[in-house]
Chain A
Amino acid sequence: MSLSMDLQTLWFFLVGILLTGYAVLDGFDLGVGSLHLFSKGDEERRIMLNSIGPVWDGNEVWLVTGGGALFAAFPEAYATVFSGFYLAFMLFVFALIFRAVAIEFRSKRPMLWWRRAWDAAFSVSSLLAGLLLGVALGNVALGVPLSADREFAGSFVGLLNPFALLVGVTTVVLFAMHGSLWVVMKTEGDLEKRAQGWARRLVWVFLACYLAIAVTSFFLVPALWEPYGRQPLLWALPLLTLLAASNVPREVYRGRYPRAFLSSCATIIGLLGLFGVGMYPRMVGSAPNPEHSLTIYNASSSPKTLTVMLIIAAIGMPLVLTYTITIYRIFRGKVRLTKDSY
């Protein structure tokens, strides 16, 4: 890998940053969602919701902007993946709709049936969203059937292959672990203890999934491991990721949850970094015809547009980081329910 970056590589990296930002940030609130039904009683559920209340919407914007950036920088990849995975994306969209509405409307009315229904909607949609994201990622890594004009030539059922499902389940578990650590940091008393229990169990489930993926990808998706043969220095990345992942249980058992959460963030960043390194310069692998793959070169916009977008990103991203940090600072600390809460 040469160090001189062309525009396409730069944009591959930037789209990667946006999607990684999404996974790290929305990851914990999707995780909180999938654990929601395990919390007990109305007050705990309100605290769960309000732990992500001020931030979940901003977190989701990372996905929206990542999607927009993918559309702008790599329209061919955007078009092929979104139309190819039609039903999967539609399911994902319905999950996000129910999730947004459930968070906003759940506590607006006092009826028990109302709250129970939205609790279920919030939890199931959060879980489904994580699962679908993972399945999509697994398929992109594995490669999907693409025709010569780079249209998807597979089926919806074909997307539900064992490897993609394994990545999907791992994503759900990873987000749940990430979310449980968030809940511990944001709550007190019974709920905090309960969340510590979730975290203690989930770290092991995640490590098992992590190992399963590492091993199966070595055999099923050897392409992901090729770059390390060419450039041994790259081995630092999987090693650091492994270190971060195994540090999560260490910190959890020492009761240092903020550190565990940071390690969990680093794990997500590392895993997506590994995915990016393994894919580069491909965007969507084609199997069985690798020559039909979408790469950052045959899927990208014109250099002019990539340059314009770079200027937009250079102006916009510092602003985005400023708002994000400001909001997290304002709402730091344990959740207190007030009359403004969800």
Chain B
Amino acid sequence: MDSIFLARLQFALTVSFHYIFPPLSMGLGLLLVFMEGLWLKTGDPLYRRMARFWVKIFAAVFAVGVATGIVMEFQFGTNWATYSRFVGDVFGSALAAEGIFAFFLESGFLAVVLFGWDRVSKGWHFFATVMLCLGAHLSALWIIVANSWQQTPQGHHVVMTAGGTLRAEITDFWQVVWNPSTFDRLSHTLMGAWQTGAFMVLAVSAYYLLRRRHEAFARASMKIALVVAAVASLGQLATGHSSAHGVARNQPVKLAAMEGHYAASAPGDLYLFGWVDEKKGTVTGVKIPKLLSAMVHFDPQKPIPGLSPVAPEDRPPVQWVFQAYHGMVAIGMGLIGVSLLGLLLWWRRRLFSTRWFLFLLLPTVLGPQLANQLGWFTAEWGRQPWVVQGLLRTEQGISKTVTAPEILGTIVIFVLVYLLLTLVFLHVVIEKIRSGPEEPEPVTGPREPGPGAAPEEPRPAHGAKNPTPDSNPDPESDSDPAPAGGEP
């Protein structure tokens, strides 16, 4: 195995694993804003319990996201040094901006959100939650800026350095930031993240309803999440359509690979599913003739440039791109179906009692996750053989000093460490979900200490033999107060 393949494999492994977590942070972050906002507005302690419960899950997600995210920042330098020398002037700025504008915001306010419940006022805590959510979204903004510049580079020029190598340098920062694909890809990514968070909350709420535990809590959570899920799922139609338009305009070879469109100049068909024969340049499957042209150009007769005139070494891996893209679209359609069905049941007042729908929501938690991954595979495979479209080929980007056995060694360690992380993460999150939200607090009058006034908590017993779990030790006790609202 050569070091190019291994470096790509390591990047794919580490970035795919990492990207399980940021969309959850963004999606849960948004839902936390709504939950705490409702608590602030209504004063109903149910929403406070809801926010407190989901903040704990958020913290676990965030920790693994941070830990695996540092790997990404270092990996540009460790494994893709030549790429880093070529793009550092442009790409590095976006990464540094992410650190300054997003990470500090996120990590600082997470501390207030997690540990500040009794140290700051309600309003302050809500503000911190909003900032936390904003930080997660700003982080996405800068990463998408950096990646979109790789897809549709502009605002730069390529110059020869004194050292005799070529590199890209910024000529117009705003052109780099708002390059032709930034907006489409950002909005598409954010909707995907909101879906990820919303379907997670839906699945957990469905689990409680099926087990008849924490029902008031689950009903209220489900309503908030369903609204977000529906908005984001429908939003994916719009942002996905707009993204495809952008790809047609800016990366025609990628679009051709997404639909397996080979003919040099013919109207494009839209496949529901299919199998590409890359040698013959054909696709076998179920298609709607000319729909691709109709969707891209609003004219079914207008030709779409195909893959045939493109030299084979300049083509992306068509089969992989085709399958990833169609998988993503299929899941996206499924998620729209599930969320619309949920709205329909809610309207008919049967959302919380339709057990098959609640069962359906459980595995749906994986839908957005899978679609996120497949979407990124489409974007990244579709750009091949370029790492920066038209400027730098992927195989030119790797580190010259790092050997194949070194990369293989670290891949093995990454696989083992990430397997361990997966087990630990799932164990902690599943235990948290099983033990459920906290008991409602007995109402003893207004309880809102000012900043710095830590309440007197009984200190846990001394000694390692008797550690105090932070979770409710009795998972079977259903702790809901009288139903707070019921059906709309």
Contact = CB atoms under 8 A, between A and B. Distances in A.
Contacts of A98: 417
Interface residues of B, number: 93
Interface stretch (A109-117, A161-169, A176-184, A242-250): A109-117
A341 interface: yes
Contact of A83 (B98, B399, B431): B399
B469 A104 contact: no
B467 A110 contact: yes
Given A115-B467, A333-B452, A86 B402 contact: yes
A42 B466 contact: yes
A97 B424 contact: no
A57 B463 contact: no
Nearest to B413: A94
Interface stretch (B75-83, B329-337, B345-353, B382-390): B75-83
Interface in A253-294: none
Nearest to B82: A79
Given A69-B99, A86-B401, A330-B120, A75 B104 contact: no
Contacts of A339: 438, 457, 470
Interface string B85-113: 10111111101111111011101111110
A93 B74 contact: yes
A120 to B, nearest CB: 13
A99 to B, nearest CB: 8
Contacts of A7: none
Given A316-B97, A339-B457, A151 B89 contact: no
A83 B469 CA distance: 43
A338 B99 contact: no
A97 B162 CA distance: 38
A316 B97 CA distance: 8
Contact of A54 (B98, B115, B454): B115
Interface string B439-471: 000000000000110110101111111111111
Contact of A61 (B64, B107, B116, B465): B107
Given A105-B63, A316-B100, A67 B93 contact: no
A202 to B, nearest CB: 25
A212 interface: no
A230 to B, nearest CB: 26
Contacts of A150: 163
B354 interface: no
Interface string B232-249: 000000000000000000
A302 B117 contact: no
Given A64-B70, A330-B452, 5 more contacts: A41-B463, A43-B462, A89-B74, A105-B424, A309-B96
Interface of A: 41-43, 45-46, 53-55, 57-58, 60-61, 64-65, 67-69, 71-76, 78-84, 86-87, 89-90, 92-94, 96-101, 103-105, 107-110, 112, 115, 149-153, 298, 301-302, 304-305, 308-309, 312-313, 316-317, 319-320, 323-324, 326-327, 330-333, 336-341
